[in-house]
Amino acid sequence: MVCGISGVAWGGLSRDARCHAVQEMISCLRHRGPDDSGLWQQDGIAFGHTRLAIIDLDGGKQPMHSETARACVTYNGEIYNHRELRRSLEGLGYRFATDHSDTEVLLHGYRAWGDSLFSKLDGMYALALYDCDSSELLLVRDHIGIKPLYYWYGADGLLCFASELKALREARVFPWDLNPENLRSYFCWRAVPGEGTLISGVKKVPPGAILRFKNESTSPQCSYYWVPRRTDEKHNLVDLEDTLRAEVRSHMESDVPVAVFLSGGVDSSIVAALAAPLGLAAAYTIGTDGKRDESSYARAVADRLGLRHKIIKVDGVRFERQLEEWFRVNDDPVADPSAVALMILARSLREDGIKVVLAGEGADELFGGYGAYVRYMLAVRLRAVLKWMPKVTGWIDPRLPDLMASDGPVFGGAGQPITCRVLDQILVHAERASASRPPWPVPTDGSLRDAMLTDQRNRLPSDLLARTDRASMASSVEVRVPFLARRVMEYANGMDEEYCVQPWRPETKVALKRLAAQYVGKDVVYRRKVGFDLPLEKWLKGCLRAQCEQLLHERVVPWLNYDGLEQLYARPRSIGRLWGPAVWSWFCLEQWVRRWGGRGA
């Protein structure tokens, strides 16, 4: 039941004012749940919900209130082990009113186990739960941040929360001002990592966190039921296959057809191979007009697995045409150009009647799939030599000199699109100095696993998962990510480094490739990794050139150094392959400020 949730609590608002604010947020989130909506009020609290019905189509309406459980919940997501938990609760004497709603499991589960419930859940979710007996309101997010949840908590005790940032603005119950302090983080990570945003006072509920609000006079308490960390368990390839197979099976549970995003790479091919015998409806692939188009490999995998296959072509014209809609939903800016293509892909699925799709997201961060990990390991091992050869390190990777300048091992993130020198060129001095500490590179212990954990804690929730949720939910499509199930993550974070990356060969995703070769063949697996790649530089110089030049002429954002930006845009070769990502990050920020700016703009 991937949906949209919202709510307002306390702060001295009248019942009518709370109701109106929540109704406005529900309307703003309608694309997340076009099948149904609901509202609940009690004790100075109002919950709202819009529903995309996927499990228990006739039951499971929300917000769900239970007199037996003495609680109310509004919830966005899927609990894949809800049947198992239901059986446990029935064994404890709990009785259910719905046929197989996972929402009701949350209500009775919280009454039975309290906060321990969240450690038992296998799924993706963001929820608000009000305990009528203790008068506590909880905001909780899944272990890795697959589902989004934003909130604002004021000095007067007013709490406002929603699945999307723009819905909070529609509530119009708190000031909406821009916050430039997170600009450096935005440019470094293509999104603001952690709990911060570019709106003053608005935060994200951290992944794996429970925020507890007792009443309007106390600050929220935050505790964590899970965080990504290195584990001591050691596994073999058979364990990996069994673990993935079990999670793909659980992710296939649905009362509507399920498809798969198939890129032709290792990750999505494994998901497709394990899901195909379970009744996949079809496979969908993005094709581009770039030299690195992988759709032919995806076609080969689909043919080998006997899947119905559809390729959606995205050229510069179609990309530009989709931009307006993407910027309309990109309310917490993510400067990841693949989001636009994913949005086109999700729309195609919805037009074909598909509500649920599997994806291979997260495998690179868990099993060592990026070339950046190879360069990181080599840089750590050759640090003493490379530190005195800045020209050589810059030639290997323009980001390496920044990493070499630190006192110890650091990692800048696999998707890092910019360098310190470029940051200083495009931000005005006040904003360069405003950050209390540099947002990157992140200190590490020199191990590959620590570098991958850095991406799991930063890049995954703030960039990759955020853009996937936003792009898919704009068309009311639910994306499920089996690689990011907790069991898989705990397995991967205990693997020896040699089963992830072997830098001297060099080879990435060693164990995962061995598994994939059994299903789709060595010819698909052991080829040069391309990744989902769009000809961004070509489009920024071509079909998007007029828009870029207009933005540079208008000079709307006060924290940007437009003289430096003009120099950067005019000299694509000045920073090599980082030019496209850096310019795109600026382009997205400009569009965001124009749509979501407040009095701070």
pLDDT along the chain (601 residues), means of 10: 87 92 93 82 93 57 80 94 96 88 93 97 97 94 98 93 96 92 90 94 97 84 94 76 95 92 94 96 89 86 96 90 93 94 95 95 95 84 64 58 59 74 83 52 80 93 96 93 96 90 89 92 78 77 93 94 94 82 94 77 38
Task: Read off the tokens for 573.
Answer: 């070769």
Question: Which residue from 412, 407, 335 is spatially nearest to 373, judged by alpha carbons?
Answer: 412
**What is the value of pTM for the model shown?**
0.93
Question: Which residue from 79, 50, 485, 52 is spatially nearest to 253, judged by alpha carbons?
Answer: 79
DSSP letters spanning 380-393: HHTHHHHTT-HHHH
Residues 540, 542, 544, 550, CA torsion sign = positive
Look at residue 506 in the predicted model and tell me its pLDDT.
85
Determine contact, residues 283/259, Cβ cutoff 8 Å.
yes
Question: Which residue from 344, 551, 392, 363 is spatially nearest to 456, judged by alpha carbons?
Answer: 363
Hey, which residues does 50 pair with through a beta bridge? Answer: 4, 37
Domains of the chain: 4-224 (3.60.20.10), 228-532 (3.40.50.620)
Hey, which residues does 7 pair with through a beta bridge? Answer: 47, 161
Q: Three-state DSSP class for 445?
A: coil
Question: Which residue from 493, 492, 515, 495 is spatially nearest to 238, judged by alpha carbons?
Answer: 515
Residues for the chain: how many in total? 601
Look at residue 37 in the predicted model and tell me its pLDDT.
83
CB atoms near residue 14 (< 10 Å): 9
Measured between its terminal Cα atoms, the distance across the chain in Å is 37
Distance CA(203)–CA(200), nearest Å, equals: 8
Distance CA(596)–CA(329), nearest Å, equals: 10
Q: ∠ CA(25), CA(29), CA(31), 5° rounding?
A: 160
Q: For residue 309, which phi and psi values (nearest 5 degrees)? A: -130, 140
DSSP code at position 462: I
* List of residues 6+ apart from 48 with CB closer than 8 A: 5, 6, 7, 22, 23, 25, 26, 37, 38, 39, 63, 74
Alpha-helical (H) ranges within 313-464 are: 316-329, 338-351, 363-367, 371-381, 383-386, 390-396, 400-404, 420-426, 429-434, 448-457, 459
* List of residues 6+ apart from 84 with CB closer than 8 A: none
Question: Which residue from 234, 447, 271, 282 is spatially nearest to 362, judged by alpha carbons?
Answer: 271
Q: ∠ CA(148), CA(149), CA(154), 5° rounding?
A: 155
3-state SS of 192-237 is CCCCCCCECCEEECCCCEEEEECCCCCCCEEEECCCCCCCCCCCCH
Distance CA(11)–CA(45), nearest Å, equals: 10
Angle, helices 316-329 vs 579-596, to 10°: value is 40
Residue 501: CA atoms inside 13 Å, Cβ hemisphere, count? 23
Distance CA(473)–CA(163), nearest Å, equals: 11
Question: Which residue from 252, 248, 253, 250 is spatially nearest to 55, judged by alpha carbons?
Answer: 253
* List of residues 6+ apart from 304 with CB closer than 8 A: 520, 521
Kindly list the strands in the beta sheet with 4-9, ordered across the sheet, starting from the edge strand earlier in the chain. 36-42, 45-51, 4-9, 159-162, 150-153, 202-204
Q: Three-state DSSP class for 546?
A: helix
Q: Bin 548: left if φ > 0, else alpha if -120 < ψ < 50, else beta.
A: alpha
Determine contact, residues 106/129, Cβ cutoff 8 Å.
yes
Look at residue 529 in the predicted model and tell me its pLDDT.
60
Look at residue 564 in the predicted model and tell me its pLDDT.
94
Q: Calculate the alpha carbon distances from 107 to 65, 110, 226 in Å.
A: 8, 5, 20
DSSP code at position 415: T
Residues 228, 233, 236, 242, CA torsion sign = negative
Look at residue 232 in the predicted model and tell me its pLDDT.
76
Question: Which residue from 454, 537, 532, 524 is spatially nearest to 263, judged by alpha carbons?
Answer: 532
